[in-house]
Amino acid sequence: MKNKLLSKYFLLFLITFFINVLISQFSNIRIDFTKEKKYTLSEKSRDILKKIDDKIFFKIYYSGKLFTPELKSFKKEIKQLISELKYYSNYIDYEFIDLYSIKNIENRNKKIYELTQEGIHWSLHPSLKNNYIIWGAEISYKTSYSNTISFLTDLDKEWPINCTGKNDNISTCLNENYTENSLKKLEYTLINGINNALDYRKERKKIGILGGHKEKNGTWISSIKNDLEYNENYIVEDTILLHQSEEFSKLYKLIENKETDHIYNLSDFDCLIINNPNDSIYFLEKVILDQYIMNGGKTIWLVKGTKSDIDSLQKYPEIPIVDLNINIRNMLYKYGVRINSDIVRDYNNSGIKLTEYSTGLLLPFPWDYFPVIKGNTHSSVSNNINDLITQFPSSIDTIANKVNKTILLQTSQYSKTSSLFDMISFNNVELMSEKKNYNQSNIILGVLLEGFFESYFKNRIPKEFKESLNFIEKSKKSNNMIVISDGNFITNQIGRSKNSRDLKIDEDGNLFLTPELTKPLALGYDRNSFKKYNNSNLILNCIDYLTEEKQEKYLFEIRKKQTKINKLDKVLIDEKKEKWQIINSIIPIIYLFFLFMITNARRIIIYKK
């Protein structure tokens, strides 16, 4: 009996031993049990990591004492993800640096200020007075490349709606939002930083912003320009095309005098954004744009069909819908789309705040002229992008030609259009809350065009002009462009927000916060409702798609990946706390009691036998 028992234990030991040996042979197997696969790198990330040929080092400044559980959890997520990166590349290494371990206060403050000036965002420490959390890292590659990455974007930093009215522990609430937003795109942030390091010797792609036609450029689009330059590593420049008369004689004179160098100034741009022109684009400018496209130039058209805007409604009780003829509709029609002279309205909208006459209070009302839409799931450019805000958009019709069309943006199933000379007024906002008034659906607001484009001027310019211009009648190779029928799609608000203070340093090396500033806010942020929309992500996806010739380089596939910290419901915890404390105390006792009873009963039966 005793020998049999020893044999069983020995056999169990041998089985366990061999299982361990077997598992050790497959030690590289990694299994991710999380629902959203947050510890599984995307295929694009793995491809980039395989290209690393020298040491990449992260100095991560997100570190400090007395972190809240959420802040600690995010630090743990950073470690976990970098460990995953290291699994695919031995060249990656990192360290966490607590800036408050620097004893010299002046040197410490100087370093904190330098990091914030280089684009890394900061937040106030929830527990320690006059302490700042640095949400970013420095990345170095080889001996010649050094840059910074920020875990937070400008939009992340804007005041979140769920922190309004929380005067107590406001810093804790803000930091909880920051951790959640940072984690969603943590993989993209790190991989994009690595990708920029690997490409540092390559010439940066250049994006042009067309001006000269009463566009709302400058500070009104500074948010998207900052995203492109500091986060996405593009060069962004404004460009103004040559203003000339539509007379052929003046065009001919320019060509005869060989004065074409200053005309064809678009060839340096990898992509050109035509952003909300409100004045006519002249004949010669259209020729330049057309030939830029025929030569392979990429374009994003953000144009509308009417002159309607919210500023006019601030001055007058009602305004008519008026046609906006900027002289490019026929050109876009030739390429494959028609922008109509109407305004699209949707039951799903951002709403607006108006003064209620009886109370004098500023209250939210529906405002269907600002549709909130989702990206089309059938395109990799717009898939998984929700909550995009539009303002007075126009409908788009696709034209039957040989160019392929992919719908990027559409309204919901509850939408409608208003025609020319219909009146826009704040007086009918109450009618906008009834679904029955919206009898149209899936109205097109954004289209991707791909194929061989035919020049709009193919039969509109004399032969001798074509020869002097080196005119191209059809694009040399397959090209693409994107048309969105909202002129305000990349326009950011300007004003004061609750989180618009800047971090500065004085002559004595002391850090201080400025008062709330009037400045450009993040694209997609509405300072009145505290809502955040994803217009920036879609435009970045559009630019990535147009400027990358090879599909394997599309980083927006990583950007769209959503990861979150699974937090416990604090309200539910407080409600059920006592209940579960009792259950957790009683169940083990009951379990032990029954175990004792069963064991005792079994012993009695054995001894009776």
pLDDT digits (tens, 9 = 90+) for 315-373: 888 999 999 999 999 999 999 999 999 999 999 999 998 887 778 788 888 999 999 99
Determine, yes or no, domain membership for 323: yes
Q: Which two tokens stand for residue 475?
A: 């694009």
What's the pLDDT at 600?
A: 77
Determine, yes or no, domain membership for 129: yes
**Average pLDDT taken over every residue of the chain:** 86
Q: Does 201 or 154 have the greater pLDDT score?
A: 154
Does 429 lie in the same domain as 294? yes
Q: Which DSSP symbol is given to 149?
A: E
Q: Does 580 or 377 have the greater pLDDT score?
A: 377
Which residue bears the tokens 């810093």?
Answer: 171
What would the pLDDT profile of 481-517 be if each residue is shown by its tens digit? 999 999 999 999 998 877 778 899 999 899 999 888 8
**pLDDT at 267 exceeding the cut of 60:** yes
Determine, yes or no, domain membership for 28: no
> Which candidate, 145, 123, 147, 149, places its Cα nearest to that of 136?
149
What's the pLDDT at 262?
A: 46
Cα angle value 535/539/540 (rounded, 5°): 115
What's the pLDDT at 559?
A: 77
Tally of domains within the chain: 3
What's the pLDDT at 362?
A: 84
**pLDDT at 248 exceeding the cut of 50:** no
pTM score, two decimals?
Answer: 0.84
What's the pLDDT at 8?
A: 57
Does 276 lie in the same domain as 144? no
Rounded CA-CA distance 349/267 in Å is 39
Does 349 lie in the same domain as 291? yes
User: What single letter denotes the amino acid at residue 482?
Assistant: I
Rounded CA-CA distance 110/375 in Å is 43
- Identify the band that residue 579 occupies on the pLDDT scale cut at 50, 70 and 90: confident
> Which candidate, 493, 475, 486, 490, places its Cα nearest to that of 543?
490
Q: Does 170 or 76 have the greater pLDDT score?
A: 76
Rounded CA-CA distance 168/218 in Å is 38
Does 279 lie in the same domain as 391? yes
Does 250 lie in the same domain as 158? no
Does 151 lie in the same domain as 75? yes
Q: Does 548 or 489 have the greater pLDDT score?
A: 489
**Residue range(s) defining the domain that contains residue 474:** 205-491+522-559
Does 374 lie in the same domain as 244? yes
What's the pLDDT at 30?
A: 61
Does 601 lie in the same domain as 460? no
Instruction: Transcribe 551-563 into DSSP letters.
Output: GGG-THHHHT---
Determine, yes or no, domain membership for 508: no
Does 320 lie in the same domain as 292? yes
Does 334 lie in the same domain as 242? yes
Determine, yes or no, domain membership for 20: no
Does 323 lie in the same domain as 306? yes
What's the pLDDT at 169?
A: 75
Question: Domain ends where: 128, 157, 188?
Answer: 188
Q: Which DSSP symbol is given to 412?
A: -
Q: 328 by DSSP, 3-state: which?
A: coil
Does 242 lie in the same domain as 114? no
Length of the chain (residues): 609
What would the pLDDT profile of 163-210 be if each residue is shown by its tens digit? 876 666 788 889 999 999 999 899 999 999 999 999 887 889 999 999
- Supply the CATH number for residue 261's domain: 3.40.50
Phi, psi of 145 (to 5 degrees): -120, 130
What's the pLDDT at 167?
A: 64
Determine, yes or no, domain membership for 147: yes
Determine, yes or no, domain membership for 348: yes
Q: Which of 236-250, 345-359, 475-489, 586-600 has the lowest mean pLDDT?
A: 236-250
> Which candidate, 238, 561, 225, places its Cα nearest to that of 384?
561
Determine, yes or no, domain membership for 438: yes
